[in-house]
Amino acid sequence: METNFIGIINSYCQLNAFSLCLSYLLNVYRFTSDFEFISVLGKGGYGAVFKVKEKLLDMDYAVKIVSASDSEKALREVKTLSDLQHENIVRYYHCWIEDSKVQQEFLKKKLKRYVFSPLYLFIKMELCNSTLKQWIKVMNENEVQYSQRGADSLPIAKQIVTGVAYIHNNNLIHRDLKPDNIMFGKDGKVKIGDFGLITIDQSEELMERTKDIGTETYMAPEQNTSRYDRKVDMFALGLIFFELLWKMSLGHERSVVSHL
């Protein structure tokens, strides 16, 4: 996969050898020179997301760092985010590539576990204030009355549906909808993010797809097979809406709901 990643870079350079190669060289250590680290927002096998301040603009952003071994997934997310423009979709700004000479030291300091790679892809995105998972946690801890919780949940649910409808209208399936991947922007609006598992849905018939893709708790039963369509996102939405309205303190309770 790393070889393919380098091949992609070489292809880009061949298209415009001077400007693109020069741009790549100038951006080699861009992250540590142009951005000030603030905090770790999330991490996993796919990569890590950091809250940073861009020094020149004095503005905060989210930057996802992905190793070259995950390049196919990362580039799919970048391509999707650059094509999707909607108020309920996390805004993408741009991406760049850096080598690991400096970045591996940064990652060592900030992450207990990280994947070494000779190249890293950096994705600069809109910074969101919180996630739907955090919102649900607050609702559960404060034991908000059902009537009030329902009233607060309705506008959130409407925005999630609007965002998912936009994704589906662009012939795409998200495949990993869950409270962790639904956020609230600085403007208070719902933002759907994490498009690393997105796939095309252009056929009216069930297409052959990769099975067992997604987060198990929110996966539709048909995702355990290789034939499914955009309806798998609707299944996940149903579970998310259930969590919006009712307190489920245990993972077992979510599992029971998903198998109803």
Name the binding residues for ATP. 64
Is 176 a known active-site residue? yes
Q: For tokens 């607060």, what's the residue? A: 152
From 60, 70, 99, 176, the catalytic residue: 176
Active site positions, annotated: 176
